[in-house]
Chain A
Amino acid sequence: MKLALGPVLYYWPREQLQQFYAAMAQAPLDIVYLGETVCSRRHSFRLPDWLETAARLRDAGKEVVLSTQVLIESESDLKTLRNIAGNGEFMVEANEMGAVRLMSGTEGFVAGTHLNVYNSQTLKQLAALGARRWVAPVEASMDMLQTICAAQPQGMQTEVFVWGRMPLAYSARCFTARAHNLPKDDCQFRCMDYPDGLDMSTRDDQAFLVLNGIQTQSSRVCNLISELDAMRSLGVDVLRISPQSRNTGEIVAVIREAVEGGITPVAAAARLDRLGEMESCNGYWHDRPGMDQTQRAGLP
């Protein structure tokens, strides 16, 4: 089983990104996804910076994948997309169908989590277009994956989001700018003030969602490492970890240890609970509301 680091979903300053990826080059990861997937206005790294980082990570032995933006609206978004699609060096994760169009017929691409693969027939279509790996939607349950994995096209790899705040929604509107009474076109890049997003709670003070520019995330951290054995038996190939500003290195190390059998999945899950700095959840995996935390497999 391989470990993948998803793209950084937040807006971090240039130095922080550089330091983060220098550290990740040494982390026990197999695959690193790079690129700005949330907002085209963010520019602490531009494509040449991502490509330079990609080359460094590749030299450190990582498989590098360039992720495309999820919500593509303007011609300049499309220009960036075309540059990524035609980079000629690194695999691409297509996060909407425009990217799929540009990548189909190439040597292969990753079908991102937002392509809405909910059944085997859709996966078959993407495989025929050249997808070599697919990332399940965050809403996917074990039952849903079971039938898809059982009918998986030849050579297709399955990747599951096992750790991090889940990306739940995208909008035309920037909620971080809105929180500061700023228009999106003059957002003053306020999302840089929130390295793990801006917390939104209910009126009775329960942490609920996280605002991250035009993206909305779960406040609770998806923690599925306790389901490692089930994932293995389904044939899941890759586990995705979503970066956060603190403890990502430790989180990767714990998951690696669990995958290699150094600690039990349940013990790993408990250690991750502490590193997440937020409540955990695993509801989607059990076909329940995503925010639910049901009892973990392996616990009495």
Chain B
Amino acid sequence: MLQKKMELVCPAGSLVALKAAVDHGADCVYIGFRDGTNARNFGGLNFDLASAREGVRYARSAGARVLLALNTYPRDGGWQTACNAVDAAADLGVSAIILADVGLLEYAATRHETMRRHLSVQGSATNYEAIRFYHEQYGISRAVLPRVLSLEQVAHLRANVPVEIEVFGFGSLCVMVEGRCALSSYVTGESPNTAGVCSPARAVRWEKTPLGMESRLNGVLIDRYADDENAGYPTLCKGRFKVDDETYYAIEEPTSLNTLELLPELARIGVSAIKIEGRQRSPAYVAQVTRVWRNAIDTCYRAPQQFVVQGAWMAELNKVAEGQQHTLGAYHRPWK
């Protein structure tokens, strides 16, 4: 017997993307403000107050909800900006605010008690004691889990917390525990925690050399491509490096997480929401991925025992996947 139907939580980096998500069946759309207060702080992306207000209105009129991600860790110098963003979220009437910083969680819990608080994946809560902590101290109603737990671990955790659990279902795969990775700032000075970016575009250089096309991040060689190879964005953990004289993807291949086939299991263990990664992606991506996942979730709930992943869904998702490869990531233990 399946519990309450899991929500489909889709990304939007613009009003057009938000509308695409709503139109194609998202239950919730998560957005961020146009500054360093969220973990997808890319040029030309995200919302100002006017577009956020229109987004909330549009979603509401279609029966969908907007969640606001405010999930970087502000320094004292950025504290007021972050608090203003929390206040603005409350004023906009978003359905929940997604936070990671303990100071900000306290601020939101005190000033805007009735606004739902979700613990961001950047909060790095990977066990039920940690989630209970955030629940007891700051009244979170939902926690987004880092992409490091196996399915059994998710199930065990779910059974031991008094809050909803949201997991990543599809998109670029962070191989590191979110909120515990400073690789990007080590190389570029900016990380998800501090600036809301990983491997920022301003630090990327492409150069054609006699050895092949090279991608560098602030001068550090991330990868080199032969003429017949597809060059990918130089996210620094997805480059090829040398270990013991062997050159390979020493940390992670450029693949996408795709958990479609786990849907019945995720539903059975009581996961409340499934998150699609990609606020930096195009409205077309959002539309395509939302449509497939809406269809898959509805199919799964109609008849969980008979659920099979349809070839057409995979074909659609493959078109937009990073590296055109899929993995179940940590949900599938052997991946580790």
Option from B101, B153, B242, B250 in Cβ contact (under 8 Å) with A122: B101
Interface of B is mostly: mixed
* Number of inter-chain CB pairs below 8 Å: 214
A121 at the interface (CB under 8 A from B): yes
Interface contact A200-B149, CB-CB below 8 Å: no
With both beta carbons as reference points, the residue of chain B lying nearest to A101 in the complex is identified as B133
Given the known inter-chain contacts A116-B73, A144-B75, A173-B252, please indicate yes or no for A98 contacting B176, CB distance below 8 A: no
- List A contacts of B220 (CB < 8 A): 202, 206, 208, 291
Contacts of A206 in B (CB 8 A): 220-221
Q: Judge whether B179 is part of the interface by a CB distance below 8 angstroms.
A: yes
Q: Give the CA-CA distance A277 to B27 in the complex, in Å.
A: 55
Q: Is the CB of B129 within 8 A of A118?
A: no
Query: How long is the Cα–Cα vector from A205 to B242 in the complex, in angstroms?
Result: 8
User: Which residues from 322 to 336 on chain B have a C-beta closer than 8 Å to any C-beta of chain A?
Assistant: 329-330, 333-336
Instruction: Say yes or no: A290 contacts B101, CB within 8 Å.
Output: no
Q: List 28 A-B contacts (CB under 8 A).
A: A73-B126, A73-B148, A81-B129, A96-B124, A97-B123, A97-B129, A101-B130, A116-B100, A116-B124, A118-B73, A119-B73, A119-B103, A125-B137, A137-B182, A139-B185, A147-B75, A147-B77, A170-B177, A171-B148, A172-B330, A173-B335, A183-B334, A202-B242, A203-B221, A203-B241, A289-B186, A290-B186, A290-B189
Q: Which residue of B lies closest to A219 (CB)?
A: B186
A residues whose Cβ falls under 8 Å from a Cβ of B: 70-75, 77-78, 81, 96-102, 104, 114-116, 118-126, 129, 137-139, 143-144, 147-148, 151, 166, 168-175, 178-179, 183-185, 198-206, 208-209, 211, 216, 218, 283-284, 287-291
Asked whether B177 lies within 8 Å of A171 as measured between CB atoms, the reply is: yes
Interface centre among A102, A172, A183, A185 (most CB of B within 10 A): A172
Please determine whether B133 and A121 come into contact, CB atoms closer than 8 angstroms: no
Complex CA distance for A220 and B73, rounded to whole angstroms: 25
User: Which partner residue on chain B sits nearest A220 by CB separation?
Assistant: B186
Interface residue? B247 (CB, 8 A):
yes
Known: A125-B106, A203-B221, A283-B189. A139 touches B101 (CB 8 A): no
Chain B residues with Cβ below 8 Å from A284 are 185
Contacts of A74 in B (CB 8 A): 153, 156
Interface range for B? 35 or more
Q: Which of A77, A129, A178, A288 contacts B127 (CB 8 A)?
A: A77
Find out whether the CB atom of B129 lies under 8 angstroms from the CB atom of A173.
no
Known: A125-B103, A144-B76, A169-B182. 15 other contacts (CB 8 A): A71-B180, A73-B150, A97-B129, A101-B130, A116-B124, A118-B75, A119-B103, A120-B76, A121-B102, A147-B76, A147-B77, A185-B333, A202-B221, A202-B222, A291-B220
Would you call B127 and A98 a contact (CB within 8 A)?
Answer: yes
User: Is B191 engaged at the interface, CB distance under 8 Å to the other chain?
Assistant: yes
Distance to closest chain A CB from B323 (angstroms): 17
Residues of A within 8 A of B228 (CB): none
Report if B270 contacts A (CB, 8 A): no
Contacts of B223 in A (CB 8 A): 203
Please list the residues of chain B having a beta carbon within 8 angstroms of any beta carbon in chain A.
73-77, 79, 100-104, 106-107, 123-130, 132-134, 136-137, 147-150, 153, 156, 175-177, 179-183, 185-189, 191, 193-194, 218, 220-224, 237, 239-244, 246-247, 250-252, 329-330, 333-336
Q: Which residues of A contact B246 (CB under 8 A)?
A: 179
- Minimal beta-carbon separation of A207 from chain B (angstroms): 10
Decide if A73 touches B176 in the complex (CB within 8 Å). no
Q: Closest chain B residue to A202 by CB distance? A: B221
Q: How far is the CA of A121 from the CA of B82 in the complex (A)?
A: 12
Are B240 and A203 in contact, CB atoms less than 8 angstroms apart? Answer: yes
- Determine the residue in chain A with the shortest Cβ distance to B249: A178
Residue from B76, B136, B153 having most chain A Cβ neighbours under 10 A: B76
Given A168-B181, A172-B336, CB of A208 within 8 Å of CB of B241: yes
Q: Would you give the shortest CB distance from B234 to chain A, in whole angstroms?
A: 11
Does B243 contact A118, Cβ atoms closer than 8 Å? no
Contact B193 A200 (CB under 8 A): no
Tell me the smallest distance from the CB of A202 to a CB of chain B, in Å: 4
Q: Which residues of A contact B100 (CB under 8 A)?
A: 116
CB-nearest residue of chain B to A284: B185
Contacting residue for A172 out of B103, B149, B240, CB 8 A: B149
**Once the chains bind, are B336 and A289 in contact (CB under 8 Å)?**
no
Residues of B within 8 A of A174 (CB): 336
Bound together, the chains give a CA A137 to CA B73 distance in angstroms of 11
B101-A138 in contact (CB<8A)? no
Which chain A residues border B222 with CB–CB below 8 Å?
202
Give chain A nearest CB distance to B77 CB in angstroms. Answer: 7
A179 touches B244 (CB 8 A): yes
Interchain CA distance A178-B7 in the complex, whole Å: 35
What residues on B are CB-neighbors of A70 within 8 Å?
Answer: 180
A177 to B264, CA, bound (A): 31
A121 to B111, CA, bound (A): 14
